[in-house]
A and B are shown apart, each in its own frame.
Chain A
């Protein structure tokens, strides 16, 4: 009877064969690392943005099965997806909240790189493509919520079309060629751009923007996906009202990433200047930042002008985003009057925000440096220990079992909720499942890291109260205690047994197959 002692048989062997085949492909040029322990997600926000992009691609493709980009059918087909298609509600909500998450993550990613000065480490090309990628992401999200063709989408499409027309000289031509004329064209072409043109542009930009080292942190990816689903479950997106030409539109505002521009436009100043020129100047200033920033240091604390510049932009974005949402609730005033923002008031606030932000930045830098100085002074006195949770192997095992059981229960609950028609509850539970899986995976990798540590050294001689070896303490008075005075003792005495082998920050493999032959597989990547 032949028994294979090799662990790599069947499917596993096939996957390794497949992986080795990638050697000749572009994929091995990218170094994926799967962190073996918790790492701050700020470092790989870009990767998380890409993950939401993939989620959007999948759910979007499924929505395409049923969506009809036809003027008088668009809204009805979305309603059909939402109400009738099995799991259409789930797909639509994941797609909608995924788009919000993607824009949010992209913005966070950019500001993290901005304030940490990371565009100095990588080259400027990544930064420039990143900013353009962010703009295209917003355009992609914008075209997405327009193809529903609800009342709100109709207003947004009208604004987009008239903004394009307002571009001097070439505007009407661009509008004619890119968007067409009339709503029938708009719906179809916004759709074509949403599902094909803009994603292709994004993928092209990504090919340039992606650095060679990528972090794929399974728990954080799961947590982000879970968060998207949970938001979808708690705040399911409504249908809006179908656009009907004879019905007066209600009060609508665009999505949150566009209300800032909306606020500018509501000042009723020239359309091109408020709706396109100001945002373009903002984007251009962001694009130029790495070329303007000549500070030698990275930290935001050491680059006061650049930090103040960023804080000013952030403050203005936050104020205008809120302002764009705010419409006086007094229904007795005519709608147009409720919408208009007094330009004098608005622009005074914008200008006022500049010195305020510079002052705020100065204060923050001062406080940060002061606390740094104090921390240095008190370094000796301060508490040395960091509270950590240490779980024994036994408890890690029980915890994994409990989390598995909990996930089974959640699956039953999600399935039950879907069966009895509580769609958003089931979406919520699926989100919780992903979150629990994130925790499960984290404990699993923690356990793996713990398993690699050697067992704690046996209790030392002084701890033994036995009388059997009376000679031992006299012969070896000091050597195996961990506190060593420098320069004393034999050289081999210095090598104390490490209680814990330091785990590398990122590893090439999370250790699904710890005992595998290290000469083949993922580790090939690190070979010259």
Chain B
């Protein structure tokens, strides 16, 4: 039987792996993460829109067939009405939950955290153009759509 072979290759190989991991680590935590987590710069007009936009959850929305989110198919304009408030005027708690996970690059994930209790509101600042169908989690027949468009003027 041959004696155990030793070679520089093992040592060099393992140390290369360690150095490689260090480089990945520095890149990931020093450059990649801060950059991907950085909030994009958004113009002041969009951050401070001119008028509030209210979507009301009307009384009796909990019953299937009634009106629920009013206006149901809302269109808001960036820089004018992109700060949207959902107001629960019903007697039951509701949610504003996107049908598919949707995020705004400035404000983060869209959707109410937990439920919006009767009399409470949920506010969200949109900064990007998109169209989001949403619903109420406990009452899946309550459906609405919000469309965010660029201001044309």
Which A residues are within 8 Å of any B CB, using their own CB?
241-242, 244, 246-248, 250, 331-332, 384, 388-392, 394-395, 398-399, 402-403, 405-406, 409-410, 413, 416-417, 422, 425, 429, 456, 499
Q: For A244, list chain B residues within 8 Å (CB).
A: 93, 115, 117
**Contact: B93 with A390, CB < 8 Å?**
no
List residues of chain A with CB within 8 A of the CB of B1.
Answer: 384
Decide if A403 touches B18 in the complex (CB within 8 Å).
yes
Shortest Cβ distance from B19 into chain A, in angstroms? Answer: 8
Is B29 interfacial (CB 8 A cutoff)?
Answer: yes
- From B4-12, B39-47, B51-59, give the one contacting chain A: B4-12
B29 interface neighbour in A248, A390, A391, A425, Cβ under 8 Å: A425
Interface size on B, residues (CB 8 A): 29
Report whether A399 and B3 are in contact in the complex, using a CB–CB cutoff of 8 Å. Answer: no
When chains A and B are docked, how far (Å) is the Cα of A402 from the Cα of B16? 10
Say yes or no for B108: interface residue by CB 8 A criterion.
Answer: no
List the B side residues contacting A242 at CB < 8 Å: 114
Contact with A along B86-119 (1 / 0, CB 8 A): 0000001100000000000000000000110100
A241-B114, A422-B33 given as contacts; is B138 within 8 A of A248 (CB)?
A: yes
CA distance A499 to B3 in the complex (A): 8
Closest to B37 in A: A422
22 chain-A/chain-B pairs, Cβ below 8 angstroms? A241-B114, A244-B93, A247-B93, A247-B115, A247-B117, A250-B137, A250-B138, A332-B141, A389-B10, A390-B6, A391-B10, A394-B11, A399-B15, A402-B15, A402-B18, A405-B22, A406-B22, A409-B25, A409-B26, A410-B25, A422-B33, A422-B37
Q: Is the CB of B10 within 8 A of A390?
A: yes
> Could you list which residues of chain B lie within 8 angstroms of chain A, going by C-beta atoms?
1, 3-8, 10-11, 14-15, 18-19, 21-22, 25-26, 29, 33, 37, 92-93, 114-115, 117, 137-138, 140-141
Bound: A394/B11 CA distance, A: 9
A456 and B18 in contact (CB under 8 A), knowing A246-B93, A398-B11?
no
The distance in angstroms between the C-alpha atoms of A215 and B138, with both chains bound, is: 52
Chain A residues with CB below 8 A from B29, complex form: 413, 416-417, 425, 429
Give the residue of B5, B14, B21, B33 whose beta carbon is less than 8 angstroms from that of A399.
B14
Cβ distance B60 to chain A, nearest Cβ, rounded Å: 17
Which residue of chain B has its CB nearest to the CB of A389? B10
CB distance from B64 to the nearest CB of A (A): 11
- For residue B117, which residues in chain A have a CB less than 8 angstroms away from its CB? 244, 246-247
- Given A241-B114, A250-B138; A395-B18 close (CB under 8 Å): no
Is the CB–CB distance between B11 and A399 below 8 Å? Answer: yes
Residue of B whose beta carbon sits closest to that of A242 = B114
